[in-house]
A and B are shown apart, each in its own frame.
Chain A
Amino acid sequence: MDLTVNDKPVQLPQGSNLSELLHHLNLKQPHLAVAVNDEVIPRARHSSFKLQNRDKIIIVEAVGGG
């Protein structure tokens, strides 16, 4: 299926979940947060959250700010 992650195209097998996406992207930082189609997905639901074709995923991190 075709997804976008922070506006970049990413392909994953049908039925993949959010944890599998993060693993696929090789993201090891502990403090990331994820939204799918503008809905914030709690960490506890990442492994049960099934992704759908054309889902828009946003991944955020902490950056410098005041």
Chain B
Amino acid sequence: MLKDNTALRDEPLVIGARRFRSRLMVGTGKYASMEQTVAAIEASGAEIVTVALRRLDFSRKGGNLLDYIDPQKFCILPNTAACFTAKDAINTARMAREMGLNDLIKLEVIGNEKTLFPDNEGLLQAARVLVKEGFTVLPYFNDDPVMAKKLEDVGCAAVMPLAAPIGSGLGLLNPYNVKIIMESVSVPVIIDAGVGTASDAAKAMELGVDGILMNSGIAAAKDPVRMAIAMRLAVESGRLAYLAGRMPKRLYANASSPLTGLPWGG
């Protein structure tokens, strides 16, 4: 055990006017039950939890998601998933705000059904309108440094490049672009989508991104609660490794033990 926790000290993650300790954000989709959703979210240690907006199901017997995920305890981040136009995304965001939770919105404007890649033009247009309306806008977009800068310039509170396509679990496909994004903007860079397992999360955090948002990586695991713990530890360990600063890579060996004073050496 550490004698003191100075080595664990870190700055909070600042998004708009809010400060967070956890750098892992989690979704609530694809779980087998509400109970499993709650167990996985609690195990992840996440403070920010994403939700989608859908038409109220009058036939449902059980409670609403927010009866299980307490908005007093978690910062709820509504998304505009499945919106294919700026207009739909803007209206969904307005609906989200009228739910009476907060002014945060995870902005998605999807350009293609199969890849779920964003429509940059629609995304920027929606971001501009929503920032003007006072939303704290967190846009999901491709790992494109030019787009990252444009999103920052219109007033987004963070930028959220994908690691890989939504729900693909392929891990961080282009760490070099993500590095350039980090150099291009001063708002937090949060990896959103594509993380498949703990090492993917750790590798992304080791690059120095400010946080990771994931859903399928946890919910689609065979044991989501165990994977939620694994992801929490991976995000923490990747962050610590980033703060610690890794050793340089070398092509040849560099002995760890002294090469002088050998017992039988000349």
A residues sitting closer than 8 Å to B (CB atoms) are: 6, 8, 25, 27, 29-35, 38, 40-43, 58-66
The answer on a CB contact under 8 Å between B98 and A41 is yes
A61 touches B54 (CB 8 A): yes
25 contacts between A and B (CB under 8 A): A25-B58, A29-B66, A31-B64, A31-B101, A33-B53, A34-B98, A38-B91, A40-B91, A41-B98, A58-B55, A59-B55, A60-B55, A60-B95, A61-B56, A61-B57, A62-B66, A62-B76, A62-B78, A62-B99, A64-B30, A64-B37, A65-B81, A65-B215, A66-B50, A66-B81
The residue in chain B whose Cβ has the minimal distance to the Cβ of A46 is: B98
6 residue pairs, one from A and one from B, having the closest CB atoms? A65-B52, A66-B215, A66-B27, A33-B98, A62-B51, A64-B28
B91 and A65 contacting across the interface, CB-CB below 8 Å: no
Identify whether the interface residues of B are mostly helix, strand, loop, or mixed.
mixed
Establish whether residues B64 and A40, one from each chain, have CB atoms under 8 Å apart when the complex forms.
no
Q: Among residues 16 to 71 in chain B, which have CB atoms less than 8 Å away from a CB atom of chain A?
A: 27-31, 37, 50-58, 64-67, 71
**Residue B216 is within 8 A (CB to CB) of chain A in the complex:** yes
- CA A40 to CA B67, docked complex, whole Å: 24
Q: Is the CB of A43 within 8 A of B51?
A: no
What is the CB-to-nearest-CB distance from B81 to chain A, in angstroms, rounded to a whole number? 5
Within 8 A of A (CB), among B179-215: 193, 213-215
User: Could you tell me the distance between the alpha carbons of A66 and B76 in the complex, rounded to whole angstroms?
Assistant: 11
A28 (CB) vs chain B CBs: closest residue: B64
Q: Any chain A CB within 8 A of the CB of B266? A: no
Smallest CB separation, B116 vs chain A (Å): 11
Find out whether the CB atom of B64 lies under 8 angstroms from the CB atom of A33.
Answer: no
Please determine whether B100 and A65 come into contact, CB atoms closer than 8 angstroms.
no
Chain B, 97-153, CB within 8 A of any chain A CB: 97-101
Flag if B27 contacts A64 (CB, 8 Å): yes
Name which residue of chain A comes closest to B65, CB basis: A62
| A63 and B94 contacting across the interface, CB-CB below 8 Å | no
Per the bound structure, the CA–CA distance linking A59 and B64 in Å amounts to 13
CB distance from A62 to the nearest CB of B (A): 4
State whether B64 touches A61 (Cβ < 8 A): yes
Q: Which residues of A contact B216 (CB under 8 A)?
A: 66
| Bound Cα distance A32, B67 (Å) | 12
Return chain A residues, CB-CB under 8 Å to B91: 35, 38, 40
Q: Once the chains bind, are A66 and B28 in contact (CB under 8 Å)? A: yes
B27/A63 in contact, CB under 8 A: no
Residues of A within 8 A of B98 (CB): 33-34, 40-43
Closest B residue, CB atoms, query A41:
B98
**B166 interfacial contact with A, CB 8 Å:** yes
Determine the chain B residues whose CB is within 8 A of the CB of A29 once the complex forms. 64, 66-67
- Whether A43 lies near B55 (C-beta < 8 A) is no
Q: Judging by beta carbons under 8 Å apart, are B54 and A30 in contact?
A: no
**Does the CB pair A65–B55 fall under 8 Å?**
no
A7 CB to nearest B CB, Å: 8
| B99, A33: Cβ atoms closer than 8 Å | yes
What are the residues of chain B within 8 A of A6 when measuring CB–CB? 55-56, 58
